[in-house]
Structure 1
């Protein structure tokens, strides 16, 4: 069944509507409608809002109708919604920031200073509409969002779900690209990885993609913000709190501009997904395949057992390992925190289920 999408190019000069059943058809039709005279294999699609690459039909199917996608040549750099709107505001809306010399100084500072100045500007804006929730009450806040997003809380919950899906598909892509998956003897590695991914997705769906994290109306112990919608930076991955106290705060419920800026805030993995968690998952599966695994529950060395998907779920998708941080506090260098090999013997498998909150 065909689903409709919106597609634009990297410069956002033209926006088209495309109905397609799969990714190949979507790229082909997008190239044709945007007047691209080249091999469609040289192009890719990314989600405009956060830059997530659309790499397969399964991920494409999770995107809501009319999602805006960006068609890119393989060598072109993705420009997210935030980057686009930020550059637009910088170049055409300077009066909203300041004028004369102040504007000149703003445009000449480095990126960190720009964010600090921009946040101060927004924080000084009218707060009267912050606590409004419905689209009809504050329509300006919803500009650029899907008509189905009827409240600010619904929209912010959707943003969390998109990030969680991104983590899932990043994990899936890495595992399915591994030698263990592609070249495993008798297809056992492929079978074990596919089962692990199914278990991981089941956990994610049963916990509703942790949609409460950005929802200010959720229970206090389930959300990352205050009941006003104010978020505070958690600081560097290895620090107890942010050293920019009072400076790295944001309320995306206040205005459309602040909602866009919030896209630059990261849910940072203390134990890194690519560098530590995924390699440990592969090691755990390798041990199961070789029949030389250690049970994390009874500590016995056994030949038959399974992988504890719950433990990796907690590290990939929950606050046990995620910290919300301002872009300045998102340290991309290698973290010293490490994941582990979570395998369990056949006897202990059922006793290892973990509550995932």
Structure 2
């Protein structure tokens, strides 16, 4: 069944509507309508809002109709909506900006200073519309969002799901480009990885992509914000709280500006996804592939069993390992925290009680 999408190029000069059933059809039609002098093989498709690459039909199917995509050639670099419009405003208003010393200093200071300025605007924002929810009640808040997003809560749920899908597809891409996947004999390694990804996705879908994390109307134990939608920074990955004495807070429900700034806040993995979790998954599957692994439950050596996918789900997608942080508190260096090799024998498989958070 075909769905309607929107596609543009990196310059955002022309936006077109495309009805397509799969990724190949979407790219082919976009090439023709946008006038690209390139083949499908030389092009890539990205979600405009967050820069996630769409590389298969499974991911495309999870995206709603009227999603805006950016079509790029291999030589072009992806620029998210946030960065594009920030740079556009800065360049088009250059003379005006440079006329004011304070504005000029703002645009040339480091990121910590910039966000101190942002914080002042946040603190001074008008709270009058914060608790309004419907698009008809606060239309300015929804500017730039899809018409299908009728409430603030629905929109914020969508933002969580986009991040979770991004984590899933980052994991999928890494595993499917690993040596184990590409070079396994008789395709056994490929089958093990595909089964793990299928199991992981089923858990994620059953938990609705943890959409409640940003939903202020969800139960208190299922959301990361206060009743009014206020989020507070959790601090550096290895700290129990933020060191900025209450400066790092934001309410994306209050205004469109705060909603946009909230995109710069990170759901930070304390045990890192790329450096630790994914390599541990590969090692776990290698043990099964080679017929020699230690069961994490009975701690005995075995030849047959499976991956305890639930444990990796908790580390990749849940608050057990995720912390919401202000961009200043997002430490990009190596974290001294490691994932485990979660393989279980047939006897112990299914006996573990997993507490999903």
TM-score, normalization by structure 1: 0.94
Alpha-carbon distance in 1 for matches of 2:324, 2:105: 30
Moved more, 180-189 or 334-343: 180-189
Moved more, 183-192 or 250-259: 183-192
- CA deviations on 1:189-214 (whole Å, 9 max, x unpaired) are 11111111111111111111111100
Alpha-carbon distance in 1 for matches of 2:123, 2:88: 20
SS in 2 for 1:78: coil
Alpha-carbon distance in 1 for matches of 2:245, 2:27: 45
Cα drift, residue 100 of structure 1: 3.1
Alpha-carbon distance in 2 for matches of 1:93, 1:63: 35
Structure 2 unpaired stretches of 5+: none
Cα drift, residue 285 of structure 1: 1.0
* Contact preservation (8 Å) 1:308, 1:352: no
Alpha-carbon distance in 1 for matches of 2:199, 2:353: 12
- 1:326 maps to 326
- Asked whether 1:23 is paired with 2:23, we answer yes
Alpha-carbon distance in 2 for matches of 1:185, 1:131: 58
Cα drift, residue 125 of structure 1: 2.1
SS in 1 for 2:216: coil
Moved more, 155-164 or 21-30: 21-30
* Contact preservation (8 Å) 2:38, 2:73: no
- 1:284 maps to 284
Alpha-carbon distance in 2 for matches of 1:202, 1:321: 19
- 1:272 maps to 272
- 1:201 maps to 201
- 2:40 maps to 40
SS in 1 for 2:78: coil
* Contact preservation (8 Å) 1:27, 1:45: yes
* Contact preservation (8 Å) 1:310, 1:353: no
- 2:237 maps to 237
Aligned residues: 357
- 1:157 maps to 157
SS in 2 for 1:349: coil
SS in 1 for 2:319: coil
| Mapping 1:1-357, distance limit 5 Å | 1-90=1-90, 100-357=100-357
Alpha-carbon distance in 1 for matches of 2:329, 2:207: 28
RMSD of Structure 2 on Structure 1 (CA): 2.0
* Contact preservation (8 Å) 1:81, 1:260: no
* Contact preservation (8 Å) 2:180, 2:189: yes
SS in 2 for 1:351: coil
Taking structure 1 as reference, are residues 89 and 233 closer, same or farther at Cα in structure 2, changes over 3 Å only?
A: farther
Cα drift, residue 167 of structure 1: 0.8
Alpha-carbon distance in 2 for matches of 1:112, 1:120: 13
SS in 1 for 2:5: strand
SS in 1 for 2:141: helix
* Contact preservation (8 Å) 2:236, 2:330: yes
SS in 2 for 1:70: strand
SS in 1 for 2:350: helix
Alpha-carbon distance in 2 for matches of 1:250, 1:241: 16
* Contact preservation (8 Å) 1:49, 1:82: yes
Alpha-carbon distance in 2 for matches of 1:285, 1:275: 17
Taking structure 1 as reference, are residues 233 and 75 closer, same or farther at Cα in structure 2, changes over 3 Å only?
A: farther
Taking structure 1 as reference, are residues 356 and 169 closer, same or farther at Cα in structure 2, changes over 3 Å only?
A: same
Alpha-carbon distance in 2 for matches of 1:257, 1:173: 33
SS in 2 for 1:85: helix
Cα drift, residue 277 of structure 1: 0.7
Alpha-carbon distance in 2 for matches of 1:211, 1:336: 29
Alpha-carbon distance in 2 for matches of 1:350, 1:38: 50
- CA deviations on 1:295-340 (whole Å, 9 max, x unpaired) are 1111111122111001000000000000111112111211110001
Cα drift, residue 92 of structure 1: 5.8
* Contact preservation (8 Å) 2:2, 2:21: yes
